[in-house]
């Protein structure tokens, strides 16, 4: 089954959270993705909410153990 656009965007969010700097805020992380023209801030916030509901991200915006595993899988998928 092919991935939907939202699924790809969720993987990018997880990967960005995995790779963000320790002093980078969640707002800065999302704004960095907005700057790439990947999606609007509103859409990214919706996806982040879904990731939280699915157990990949905490309410503070940190990866859960499950989120870290999925982010590492995404990193492998996106690596050429």
- CATH at 26: 1.10.10
Number of domains in the chain: 1
Gap between the terminal Cα atoms of the chain: 21
d(CA 66, CA 24): 21
Measure Cα distances from 40 to 46, 47, 53, 60 in Å.
10, 11, 20, 20
Domain that holds residue 45: 5-78
Quick check: 50 and 24 in contact, CB under 8 A? no
Where residue 14 falls among pLDDT bands split at 50, 70, 90? very high
Residue 80 has pLDDT above 80, yes or no: no
pTM (2 decimals)?
0.89
d(CA 53, CA 60): 13
């Amino acid at each position: 089954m092919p991935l939907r656009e939202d699924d790809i965007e969720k993987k990018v969010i997880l990967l960005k959270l995995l790779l963000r700097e320790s002093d980078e805020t969640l707002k800065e992380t999302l704004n960095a993705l907005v700057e790439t023209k990947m999606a609007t801030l509103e859409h990214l916030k919706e996806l982040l909410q879904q990731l939280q509901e699915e157990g990949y991200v905490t309410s503070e915006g940190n990866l859960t153990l499950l989120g870290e595993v999925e982010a590492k899988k995404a990193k492998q998928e996106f690596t050429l």
